[in-house]
């Protein structure tokens, strides 16, 4: 169970880092809005799902409840 929690945490932190870096590059004018959107649109949902999977990985039971995404 600990391995699943660590894997979900790594995916979350990697996705969060990509989101922060991409947003920072856009706000400083280093990349255009289209590039920022092209990166954030697929990465943000993966980051949110990884956060919820990390949160639920420590609880007992094999069922992952509906998280509304």
Would you say residue 69 has pLDDT above 70? no
CA distance 50 to 13: 9
Q: Is the pLDDT of residue 65 over 70?
A: no
CA 9 – CA 51 distance, rounded (Å): 7
Q: How many CB atoms lie within 10 A of CB 29?
A: 7
Q: Hey, what are 58's tokens?
A: 């420590």
Report the share of the chain in percent with pLDDT over 70.
Answer: 80
State residue 12's pLDDT score: 93
Confidence (pTM): 0.77
Tell me phi and psi for residue 66, to 5 degrees: -65, 125
Domain coordinates in residue numbering, the chain: 2-55
pLDDT of residue 31: 96
Helix (H) or strand (E) holding 65: none
Band the pLDDT of 28: cuts 50, 70, 90. very high
């Amino acid at each position: 169970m600990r391995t699943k929690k660590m894997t979900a945490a790594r995916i979350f932190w990697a996705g969060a880092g990509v989101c922060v870096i991409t947003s920072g590059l856009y706000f400083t004018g280093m990349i255009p809005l289209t590039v920022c959107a092209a990166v954030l649109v697929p990465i943000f949902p993966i980051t949110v799902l990884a956060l919820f999977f990390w949160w639920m990985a420590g609880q007992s039971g094999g069922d992952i409840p509906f998280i509304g995404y």
